[in-house]
Amino acid sequence: MSSPTSPTASAESRRAARKAVIPVAGMGTRFLPATKAVPKELLPVVDRPALQYIVEEAARAGLAEVLMVTGRGKSAIEDFFDRQPELEALLEKKGDESRLAAVRESTGIAQVHFVRQGEARGLGHAVLQAASFVGEEPFAVLLGDDMIDVRDHLLEHMLTVQRAHGGSVIALLDVGRENIDKYGAVAVEPADDAAMDGDEVVRITGLVEKPPVDEAPSSLAIIGRYVLAPEVFGVLRETPPGRGDEIQLTDALATLVERGEPVHGVVFGGRRYDTGDRLDYLKAVVRLASERDDLGPPLRAWLREFVADLPAEGASPS
């Protein structure tokens, strides 16, 4: 699977990842004022918090130990993943089996641990807080506001690439050159790996955080899934604050590439929702609700009428 010119990794670094880190300590400023008191990761996508879908995704990929990096104002996240004996007893007494199952399901998905990031000093700094939990093995990072559709298998594909090549693997999405300045951007070379269900594998040759559009190396953006080699911790400790005065994970990955460590990308061809962005959040709620067996039929009927009545673009709604 590895190309003759690609940097090589030790057999040790090809060990399977077993642990997931989910940073949830960010401020969520794009969703203010809601996020003054409610973590954006707990905003409901239909009837479950975005974060529950993400923990389920980690568990489906075989990562049953999860560390959340939390911060001030995020204690509701710890409550959500804790048992609620009084609520369970009440639902049991009422004989409400389906809601009881839903409440219990949310606490049984994975073994969830917590560590605090004292100050929101950036994604790289958040990941660094996981060093002692992770130890010397590869691990996954899933951003707490980035949802991948349950029908797509991005994380599994990334874990497969990591086991084949060692080193680190990052998820990429073609966002179009005009949008690349909102993301980490990458320079890539083809890899000779076979594509997996429409997800293409590339080798990363450079990374830059939120470049101006005319300086971006490509239109491929880094999205919220990573499988990282433990060497990233040593690099993060030496990474100075970068863009936005934050310690950037992108900068640490750029250092790994410069040092000749293998870093691959999986270009995602499926459905992704950035639930930290208001428009993407709304799209996620509508799409997922319209596909559900319980809510879908009445919602789709209403949506058809709603869309038919929409005023032409430029006209104001009545």
Q: Which residues bind ligand UTP (CB under 6 A)?
A: 23-30, 69, 117, 120-123, 125-126, 143-145, 276
Q: What's the longest Cα–Cα distance across the chain?
A: 65
Q: What's the closest the beta carbon of residue 29 comes to ligand UTP, in angstroms?
A: 3
Q: What's the closest the beta carbon of residue 125 comes to ligand UTP, in angstroms?
A: 6
Residue number of the CB atom closest to ligand UTP: 26
Q: Which is nearer to ligand UTP, 227 or 289 (CB)?
A: 227
Q: What's the closest the beta carbon of residue 113 comes to ligand UTP, in angstroms?
A: 15
CA-CA distance, 271 to 305, in Å (whole number)?
25
Q: Which is nearer to ligand UTP, 224 or 262 (CB)?
A: 224
Q: What's the closest the beta carbon of residue 144 comes to ligand UTP, in angstroms?
A: 4
Nearest 5°: phi and psi at 198? 90, -5
Rg (CA), the chain: 21
Q: Which is nearer to ligand UTP, 160 or 275 (CB)?
A: 275
Q: Which is nearer to ligand UTP, 166 or 184 (CB)?
A: 184
Q: What's the closest the beta carbon of residue 220 comes to ligand UTP, in angstroms?
A: 18
Q: What is the DSSP string of 156-197?
A: HHHHHHHHHH-SEEEEEEE--GGGGGGSEEEEEEE--PPPBT
CB 238 within 8 A of CB 207: no
Q: Which is nearer to ligand UTP, 121 or 271 (CB)?
A: 121
CA-CA distance, 208 to 220, in Å (whole number)?
11
